[in-house]
Amino acid sequence: MTFLQDSLERLYARRRFGIKPGLEAERQLLEYLGHPERAYGVLHVAGTNGKGSVCALAASALREAGLKVGLYTSPHLVRFNERIRVNGEPIGDDRVADLLRQIEEAAAQVAAARGREPTFFECATAMAFEAFRRAGVQLAVVETGMGGRLDATNVVEPLCSVITEISLEHTAFLGTSVGEIAREKAGIIKPGRPVIVGAGDPEARSVLEEEARMRSSFLSYAAECVTAEVTSRSLAYQSVALTSGMESYGRIRLPLLGDHQVDNAATAVAALEALSGTAGLDLPRSAVKRGFESVAWPGRFEVLREEPPVVLDGAHNPGAARVLARTLRQVLPGRSVGLVLGMCADKDAHAFLVPFAKRLRRVWLVPLQNDRSMPAADLRRAVPGGRTEVVEAALDVAMAEAAEWAEENGAAVCVTGSLFLVGEALSILGQ
């Protein structure tokens, strides 16, 4: 085993410490490192669904504007390095190994001082912030891990905050209503800094407006700042006309598919314009256009094959499932659907499958390669009755059988239910 592999195993072993909401351990890690998070501007993004796509779009546009940009997202799909990107590229193995050595030293100091070990996510977040400082990043786009108020990333003082769509998630930690969850997400709103909101739920909006007023933060709704019109769609891209009160961005060939990605693009534009105003950035419309057209965000309605259509999507909650089902109807109208499905045991599989019921003809139930996998028997009970056939198989077998079934029946296949499953599928495909 190499030093990198051994160090990553020790980092992954920190998952046994679970989730520890709170900022003190993260602040102490960063203090030991000399506060790398203060070395650059930050765009901070929270939300239930869409936050990763908004991060990817914003980072791509800022990079096209000539800035050196860091991007921190989670989880990774195949390799840890994907979480920490500089100018679109994951950091190298040598840098990961060096950062791990430094973070282990910092974690030992924190453990001695606090009487508890820093968690996996706390260490990964500190690694990202230090990696960005070492790389000379000018702006970092940072995605929260869970919630916002007590998320480890919330040690930053962002130039602008963004909150995307909000729905029920992680209820054991964030609350049992949309309003309670919105209040946790609102924790990333900082005094005097603008916040862009993509959320449409009235309960969430009411909470976010109240929290913004309390912090004297100027709140803007993306849908009121930016208009977006879809002019055409294919399995390769959708053509979107984007216009704000400040700029007309023309028609953009957006490689991210679905109405939700149109909303995410509008949210990213509103965030970029707010960021430009706060930081005094020159952000030409040509940079936004190039950045959006070249954005890559794997595992989010990623088309692996056009005929028969095989799609990879990391949807893992009922809200994301509704969006996925709607996108399948939009780009593949009239097609029956087969799902290759694997989910974590803490998810609501029945509610996840409801949006697909009318078009669902076959489901391949596959195990996730981790201890959070939902047992096949539980998944089977969640599958709607009627015309849906259920098969249990290993992922590689299921993907091959599903593609063959789709070709024979003029149908479409979607591999979905978990980002862990997406990563496993990409590994099988050698991507």
Q: How far apart are CA 336 and CA 251, in angstroms?
A: 31
Q: Tell me the whole-structure pTM to 2 decimals.
A: 0.94
Predicted confidence at residue 243, as pLDDT, reads 97
Predicted confidence at residue 311, as pLDDT, reads 97
Tokens of 49: 């669904």
**Is the pLDDT at 1 greater than 70, yes or no?**
no
Domains of the chain: 3-293 (3.40.1190.10), 302-428 (3.90.190.20)
Tokens of 124: 């990964």
Tell me how far CA of residue 222 lies from CA of 163, 178, 253, 337, 380, in angstroms: 10, 19, 20, 33, 40
Task: Locate all alpha helices (DSSP H) within 23-143, ordered by sequence.
Answer: 24-33, 51-64, 93-114, 120-135
Q: Does the CA dihedral 262-75-317-162 come out positive or negative?
A: negative
Please state which of the ranges 264-268, 269-273, 379-383 shows the lowest mean pLDDT. Answer: 379-383
Predicted confidence at residue 396, as pLDDT, reads 96
Q: What is the mean pLDDT of the segment spanning 250-267? A: 96
Do the bridges between strand 195-197 and strand 219-221 make them parallel or antiparallel, or are there none, so unpaired? parallel
CA angle 293, 299, 301 (to 5 degrees): 65
Percent of the chain at pLDDT above 90? Answer: 88
Q: What is the mean pLDDT of the segment spanning 105-114? A: 95
> Over the stretch 229-248, which tens digit does the pLDDT of each residue have?
999 999 999 999 999 998 99
Please state which of the ranges 2-16, 174-188, 214-228 shows the lowest mean pLDDT. Answer: 2-16
pLDDT range class, residue 282, cuts 50, 70, 90: confident
Q: How far apart are CA 78 and CA 13, in angstroms?
A: 17
Average pLDDT, the chain: 95
For residue 116, how many other CB atoms are within 10 A of its CB?
11
For residue 429, how many other CB atoms are within 10 A of its CB?
11
Tell me how far CA of residue 305 lies from CA of 149, 302, 308, 403, in angstroms: 40, 9, 7, 9
DSSP 282-306: ---HHHHHHHHHT---TTSSEEEEE
Enclosing H/E stretch for 44: strand 41-46
Q: What is the mean pLDDT of the segment spanning 185-211? A: 96
* Backbone φ/ψ region at 243: left (φ over 0), alpha (ψ -120 to 50), beta: beta
Q: Which residues contact 3 (CB under 8 A, 6 or more apart)?
A: 97
Q: How far apart are CA 258 and CA 237, in angstroms?
A: 9
Q: How far apart are CA 321 and CA 148, in angstroms?
A: 23
Contact (CB, 8 A) for 343 and 316:
yes
pLDDT range class, residue 410, cuts 50, 70, 90: very high
